[in-house]
Chain A
Amino acid sequence: MTPARPKLRPPTPREVALLGLAGLVFLGLGYLRLRWKPARAEAAALAESAEAVDAQAAMVRNRAAAVGGGRPLDRAHAEMAAALEAERRALAAVEARFAPDDSLAADLAALARDAGVEIRESAPGEGRAGDPYARPVRRLVVKTSFAGLRAFVAGLAGLRYRATVVRIEVEAGPPLVATLVLAL
């Protein structure tokens, strides 16, 4: 014979009320933890992200305003392109005085001969990478007198094309040996 199972006493109204209250509290806490807190965190993250994006956009706008100088970007772009084109044309006009090819070599040889300068060595040089003064250069090692050197350097101004001494070294010798770097 199995012992009779004790019957559970029905809950009193106060116990029912407490159970209900506990249920409400449990639901409330669950809501706060599973909904309210993540939502607040998401809202805070969104606000922070929006603030950062806003700041980034403001920086870009400020940069655009600075670049555009208060003008619309497309207009600033057009004006800048026009200015560049004008500058390029001016540069082309200036560079037109330089020899387009090696035709200046013969002139240099003739000038050296007239000035009594012996060109011992003539070699093209290499400009430095990123150098804005990117003219082709030629390095000359000449043997001459001081007067010949002066005549040779002075005679450069009379050539058909521009040739500018951008570097000079003189060893008095005898004989006088000078190293000239010419921008052509």
Chain B
Amino acid sequence: MSLAASLGLLAGAGRRRVLACAVDGRELRAACVRAGAGRGDAPVVEAVAAAPLDDPAAAVAAAVERLRRAGARPPARAVLVLPDATPACLELPVDPARPLETERMQKLVRFELEPYLALQAPAPDARPAGGSSAAAPGAAAVALAESVCGYAPLGGPPAGDGRHRWLACGVARPVRDLWVQAFRRSGIGLAALYPLAGTAAAALDGEAAARPCAVLEVGGRVVGCARLSGGAVESVAVHDLGGEPLTADRCLDLAGAGRVWLSGSPASVDEIAEAIRVCPCERCHTVEVEVEVARDGAILGAARHFLGLGGSGRACAVPGRDAATPLLARPRARALAAVAVAGLALAAIEGSVRSTLGRARDAHARATAAAAAARAETRGVAEIEGLGRELERVRARRAYIERDLARREALVPGLLDALAAAGSAEVAVDRVREDDRGGFGVEGFALAFHDAQRFARDLEAGVKPLGCRVEGLRVFEKRGRLGLEGRGFELRIVPVGPAGPAGPVVAFPGAVPAPRKP
């Protein structure tokens, strides 16, 4: 976006007043200018003041003070027309529809403006062109090395090599900074600096701007000359008068024939216009010159251009401050961004870690609390289990007494009865011994094998109601108690389950206690 468009946006945003100033070699002239009430209305000059140009800050302060005394309220923003700004018409390989980035555009314009700046740079021991007090000895080198530029497209078709015409201007950075500081001391922001040459062309409008003409800006030691054609600047140049007064003949040299607009301080332009009109020389009478006077045209042009009221294509300005470097293009900003990103990353990780730790600690605390409650339950469970074990023991004891002992009370007499019933004169029972497996071993003597078998068979019938059976009958030769030859036998009575009314035989392993020791 060009400066003019930017300034137009600013003006359109409601900032409709500006303090327009111009300096020549002798004084600083200031005017409070506001835009007209209606669209297309001419700007209104509320008040004007002038102050001697001994010191920029003092001159600005004095002019502002005089404006206040005149009843005007100085605007907060100002534009300045000064002869130190060098204008030029350039052909740049940049399409106005697609301008370069601000920094690259500045570099390109600065490069193209260097020859013009060098031409205008004053000698170290000479007072600078225009007599501005801003420059100092050595300013020539400064002007070449550190200049700031403004630019605006001039429109029209591009040249054959694709170059487009631009109106540009440049000023030494120290000069600009000096004036910016000077205005800042008075509480005013210097928004733009305009060149002396050509800025008055922005004050023309309508038919005056459309007709081809030359605009001469008289400013002390220099004269700026801009030629207009088709409402746009065709050429612009600054001429050093070398200390000589501006004569009618010199005006004709600079402006040529046709319409000439003279701009400058009212006194000087009136004087020059009168001089041209009454000039007795033959040339002034033969050349057809139409002289027009635009008093303080540069101030009005700068204000008009700055307020976006017109003059586009006929003026350009150096901005009062550099365009802001993109944030991430600044090394410090990059470093801060890197630190911030790292900090944010660390903060995010730390937050995640704290969250994870918090959740884990909460879960652990909940589990610990649940475990404590469970431990309390464990005691209750252990007590219940102890009661259960005791209950089982008491039940077993009662079952032993009510069931097992009762069965034994039926079994033992029944067994003795069965032995007695199975016995006969041919069989003698020698031993009955209870084993640890719940059975009874029976040993005896029979006269014959079949006696032993009969005994076993009868015993089987006798113990069957007791839930027992006979097994393992073994018969062998044996001599009896009385020396009789016969058969010894062995058998076992074993429980077989709940076959009889008394149920199974209950074994009492180890129930034969040893005699108690005295």
Question: B377: shortest Cβ distance to chain A, in Å?
Answer: 5
Given A123-B516, A137-B511; A49-B350 close (CB under 8 Å): no
**Residues of chain B lying within 8 A (CB to CB) of residue A61:** 374, 377
Let me know if B65 is at the binding interface, CB within 8 A: no
B432 x A168 contact (CB < 8 A): yes
Let me know if B103 is at the binding interface, CB within 8 A: no
B367 x A154 contact (CB < 8 A): no
Question: B506: shortest Cβ distance to chain A, in Å?
Answer: 9
Closest A-chain residue to B394, C-beta based? A87
Given A54-B370, A67-B381; A88-B394 close (CB under 8 Å): yes
A80 x B363 contact (CB < 8 A): no
Question: B369: shortest Cβ distance to chain A, in Å?
Answer: 9
**Residues of chain B lying within 8 A (CB to CB) of residue A132:** 393, 396-397, 400
Closest B-chain residue to A183, C-beta based? B405
Q: Which of B349, B375, B401 contacts A60 (CB 8 A)?
A: B375
B377 x A64 contact (CB < 8 A): yes
B339 x A24 contact (CB < 8 A): yes
**Residues of chain B lying within 8 A (CB to CB) of residue A57:** 367, 370-371, 373-374
Distance A127 CA – B387 CA, assembled complex (angstroms): 24
Q: Which of A21, A43, A95, A183 contacts B356 (CB 8 A)?
A: A43
A166 x B408 contact (CB < 8 A): yes
B431 x A170 contact (CB < 8 A): yes
Distance A146 CA – B415 CA, assembled complex (angstroms): 12
B338 x A94 contact (CB < 8 A): no
Q: Which of B402, B416, B512 contacts A179 (CB 8 A)?
A: B512
Q: Which of A3-11, A68-76, A104-112 contacts B (4 or more CB under 8 A)?
A: A68-76
Distance A53 CA – B335 CA, assembled complex (angstroms): 49
B431 x A172 contact (CB < 8 A): yes
Given A28-B346, A167-B511; A53-B516 close (CB under 8 Å): no
Let me know if B206 is at the binding interface, CB within 8 A: no
Closest B-chain residue to A47, C-beta based? B360
Q: Per-position contact with A for B389-403: 1 when CB-CB < 8 Å, else 0?
A: 011011111101110
Interface of B is mostly: helix
Q: Which of A73, A127, A128 contacts B380 (CB 8 A)?
A: A73
**Residues of chain A lying within 8 A (CB to CB) of residue B429:** 146, 170, 172
Interface size class of chain B, counting residues whose CB lies under 8 Å from the partner chain: 35 or more
Closest A-chain residue to B345, C-beta based? A28
Let me know if B497 is at the binding interface, CB within 8 A: no
**Residues of chain B lying within 8 A (CB to CB) of residue A22:** none
Let me know if A40 is at the binding interface, CB within 8 A: yes
Let me know if A100 is at the binding interface, CB within 8 A: no
B377 x A42 contact (CB < 8 A): no
A166 x B511 contact (CB < 8 A): yes
Closest A-chain residue to B363, C-beta based? A50
Q: Per-position contact with A for B349-368: 1 when CB-CB < 8 Å, else 0?
A: 11001001101110110111
A84 x B511 contact (CB < 8 A): no
Chain A residues within CB distance 8 Å of chain B: 13, 17, 20-21, 24, 27-28, 31, 35-36, 39-40, 42-44, 46-47, 49-51, 53-54, 56-57, 60-61, 63-64, 67-68, 73-74, 76-77, 80-81, 83-84, 87-88, 90-91, 94-95, 121, 123-128, 132-135, 137, 139, 146-147, 149-150, 153-154, 156-157, 162, 164-172, 179, 181, 183
Which 3 pairs show the lowest CB-CB distances between chains A and B?
A125-B513, A60-B374, A46-B360
7 A-B pairs with CB atoms under 8 Å apart are: A20-B339, A73-B384, A77-B383, A146-B419, A146-B429, A167-B511, A170-B429
Chain B residues within CB distance 8 Å of chain A: 331, 334-335, 338-339, 342, 346, 349-350, 353, 356-357, 359-361, 363-364, 366-368, 370-371, 373-375, 377-378, 380-381, 383-385, 387-388, 390-391, 393-398, 400-402, 404-405, 408-409, 412-413, 416-417, 419-420, 428-434, 508, 510-516
